[in-house]
Amino acid sequence: MKRFFLFSIISVLILSICCGVAPITAFAGSEEIVSSKSACLLDYATKEVMYEKNAHEKMPVASMVKMMTILLTVEEIENGNLSLDEMVTTTENASGMGGSQVFIDPFVEYSVEDLLKSVIVASANDASVALAEHIAGSESGFVKSMNKRAGELGMKDTNYVNCTGLPAPEGYSSAYDSAILLAELSKHEIYHNYSTIWMDEITHPSGRKTGLTNTNRLIRYYNGCDGGKTGSTNEAGCCLSATAKKDDMRLISVIVGAKDSQTRFNECSKLFNYGFANFENVLLVNSETILTNCAVSKGRVDNVELFANENFSALLKKGEENPYKVEQQLPSTVKAPLKAGESTGKITISKDGVIVKEIDVVSHQDVLKITYLGTLEKIYQNW
């Protein structure tokens, strides 16, 4: 009997190998997809990992560090602390940066727009340091803000020591953290205004011109790719973070430690192809859909429309049954006064019996309490 049982197990294993049956793991692809040291494929909407290989391993990521430099600059602009036409006086320190650069002159003025474009498109180290010094007073002060922001985004495997990604023993990140960072950066329209540029130029104060060519070749050669950041040093190998969108689905693909430049582009594309072919985003809760037209007690209006406070999308493998359950707890009536955004109910999303998300049910408008005069007027109208 024991021999029969052992024989059965061995037979199943042999059949699995011969037929290519892989063990089932949640949204984790086979490591055979990529040869690079580390990789991560992330769904933008749900932040779920669709594929990973050593995704949390701390590694140098070269110029992919600049995504945080770009993010902080863009956030400063959107918060009103910086403008694209603001002029930045460069320093000798900034102009003396090695590696990829746009050869800025020291002690002259460049616009924030030209410097930001140079970082996003051409991965310019000198422009990165010029922005960092202008925003924080020094590169070291800017690096503190970089690490603070990384902590806020939940990037647990990251430590920045400069704003460029130039080799430094204490500087590291991970494929997963890089994916989270690019997902955050991809929220900003200002970033996409420059990330999709293939070729451009900047004019220096002296009148000379420097051409810019996007280091991310996928924006030209992969349909739907509209952003990303390359990186390459001896320590980090060839790296790439890229984002692409098809229909309503946006993916973030990250490669760290590829053997050469072409491999990072090929493997990043392979991850995109894998994700778009095998997964789909399903919008389970739509914040624009009216849930109910609820009766109002003691209000100036008789009814108010209620909505989910936010969207909720689920990442599903194509062809598989939806495991999510959506339950609504809606009031039969609400009492005035009611402020816009104030919770009046709940939507609960669960998966396999475990609650994964709770969303407030709200009104988009203030509902004022009826006055004594208003009550009399309403009685008269009804009569």
**Residue scoring higher pLDDT (372 or 30):** 372
User: 95, 123, 173, 195: which one is catalytic?
Assistant: 123
Nearest to 43 by CA among 352, 354, 359, 282: 282
Percent of the chain surpassing pLDDT 70: 89
**Residue scoring higher pLDDT (179 or 377):** 179
**Distance of alpha carbon 275 from alpha carbon 4, whole angstroms:** 41
Q: Which tens digit of pLDDT belongs to each residue from 366-380?
A: 999 987 666 656 666
Q: What is the mean pLDDT of residues 96-108?
A: 95
Residue 296 has pLDDT above 70, yes or no: yes
φ and ψ of 105, to 5 deg: -85, 150
pLDDT score at 372: 64
How does residue 98 score in pLDDT terms, banded at 50, 70 and 90?
confident
- Who's near 368: CB < 8 A, 6+ residues apart? 299, 300, 336, 337
Residue 326 host element (H or E): strand 324-329
Q: Which tens digit of pLDDT belongs to each residue from 50-94?
A: 999 999 999 999 999 999 999 999 999 999 999 999 999 999 999
Residue 30 has pLDDT above 80, yes or no: no
Nearest to 239 by CA among 218, 260, 270: 260
pLDDT score at 6: 40
pLDDT score at 69: 98
Q: Is 123 a catalytic residue?
A: yes
Percent of the chain surpassing pLDDT 90: 87
Domains, the chain: 31-278 (3.40.710.10), 286-382 (2.60.410.10)
pLDDT score at 1: 40
Q: Which tens digit of pLDDT belongs to each residue from 314-367?
A: 999 999 999 999 999 999 999 999 999 999 999 999 999 999 999 999 999 999
Residue 28 has pLDDT above 90, yes or no: no
pLDDT score at 204: 97
pLDDT score at 32: 74
Q: Structure tokens of 99?
A: 């590696």
Residue 5 has pLDDT above 90, yes or no: no
**Distance of alpha carbon 241 from alpha carbon 239, whole angstroms:** 7
pLDDT score at 371: 77
pLDDT score at 354: 95
pLDDT score at 31: 47
User: 38, 63, 186, 195: which one is catalytic?
Assistant: 63
User: 37, 53, 66, 117: which one is catalytic?
Assistant: 66
Q: What is the mean pLDDT of residues 12-19?
A: 36
The mean of the pLDDT values for the chain is 91
Q: Which tens digit of pLDDT belongs to each residue from 111-150?
A: 999 999 999 999 999 999 999 999 999 999 999 999 999 9
Q: Structure tokens of 277?
A: 């072919």
CB atoms within 10 A of CB 1: 5
**Distance of alpha carbon 131 from alpha carbon 120, whole angstroms:** 12
Q: What is the mean pLDDT of residues 156-170?
A: 97
Nearest to 131 by CA among 110, 150, 152: 110
Q: What is the mean pLDDT of residues 258-268?
A: 98
Give me the residues paired with residue 328 across strands: 347
* Listed range (23-27, 247-251, 271-275) with the worst mean pLDDT: 23-27
Q: Which amino acid is it at 119?
A: V
**Global pTM?**
0.85
- Who's near 328: CB < 8 A, 6+ residues apart? 291, 345, 346, 347, 361
